[in-house]
Structure formats: C-alpha cells, structure tokens
Structure 1
Amino acid sequence: MRQLISSGSPWEGPVGYSRAVRVGNVVEVAGTTAMDDDVVTGADAYSQAKRALEKIADALHAAGATMEHVVRTRIFVTDIAQWPEVGRAHGEVFGNIRPASSMLEVRALIDARLLVEIEATAVIS
C-alpha cells in the first residue's frame, strides 16, 4: 500500500511530489523548509531548522508515525558555518532518538531567504 501525504502546497501538483510517502512501515519525508505559502518562518538558521522539523513532525503524524520513528535525516544548509545553530535545533528535537544524519552545504535552496532544508526517513516498528 502506498499512502501519499500532502501539505496542500501549490507546488506538489505541478512539480509532481508529495510532502511524504508511506510504503508499508517506511515513511519518506521530502525536503522541508521553513516556507509556508510565501512566508519564511525565521530569519536565522536555528529558527528555520526548528520550523522545518515541526513540519516534518506534522507529515509523520499524518502518515501514522512520530519523530521517534525517524532513523535518518539529511540536512542541507546554504552556509556550513551555520552548522552549530542547525545542529542545536536538530539535537533539541532528536535528543536520545539520535537518527543517522548528514549535513551538507549547498549553493542555494529554492528561495534565497531559505537557509536550511531537511529530509527524514522513518521506520514504524
């Protein structure tokens, strides 16, 4: 069974993606930023990472999972010097869960105001 989770973003249809997809006990959450409609929540990397993680939690909930089910995150930042702030946000959310994680610097995200994008993989046991 394949369950598609939508955020209602106007981009999902034209681009052809879902906020998250659940197949069996695995949930993949698409790259998630702090953008809601055309508004970016937070002017700094920490605030943007926190908002992205909140949105990931919402997508997981819609798929029947929680942050405790996350086994992997991938973090993309536009300035690797911001890694301590992004790492702090990640650590506050994942503390003892401690998923495998990568953080990579990228040249740009889809909007110049965005500093962080996060993907997640969850396995529901």
Structure 2
Amino acid sequence: MGYGISLHRFVDGEPEALDERVVRETLAPYAVEMGEDVEEMLIRAVDGGEAEVNVSADGISVHRFPTGGVVDVIAELANRLSAAILLPDGALVSSEEQRANLPDGLRDMAAVIEMTGPTLRAALRS
C-alpha cells in the first residue's frame, strides 16, 4: 500500500477511546517487537507481510503494509474494536450503525462493508 490508514471509534460523531486491552490481545500474536506500552510496534502476518503500527489515545495508524495477511489483522482489529477504517478519501465501516456514529463530514463518504480480510482488500484496491 502506498498510503497509511487509521482506525478510530466514534459515538454520536465524537471520538471514543479505543480499548487498549483489545488492541494488545489482537496484535500481540503478530508483534515482532512490543514492549509494555503498545504505542509503536512492527507486526508480521503469517504470510510474512509486515506493517508499522502506531497506537495513540485517539486511534491506530498502520503504515507501509502489503495487501496480504496484514489486511486480515487490520480487519480483525477493526471488528473487535468496532472501529471505522479511515482512508485518504473516505471511510470503511462494518454496519449502518457505525456509519451513523461517524462525524458529519465522514458519514457521507463512508462505505459499509463486511469487515473481513478479503472484503477489506477489495475495498482498498478500489
């Protein structure tokens, strides 16, 4: 991927904190390097693809990732966090309820998809 994406959770148009425990549980099996703080890590999917992941109070950014197994990990993480995936030109959510919770500017640009690795890969390609 030539660009990064980010995961954020919204309720009534306002950002919500992500559950750090869920982030750690989901990413730990793929972490090449992860200390006590989950702020920065390198993850490696089972197919060998790697991505840089930065976690902050307001979201998770994923950089320089291939379109293979890392996308499966991102989809799993988005599902477990009930998070929207923000792209440079829009957003991807897994339900109409999630779309309704997005801020006004994002709601119209969001697409509802089944949040699985294959479906997310297809959406990222289009």
The alignment's TM-score, normalised by the length of structure 1, stands at 0.25
The alignment's TM-score, normalised by the length of structure 2, stands at 0.25
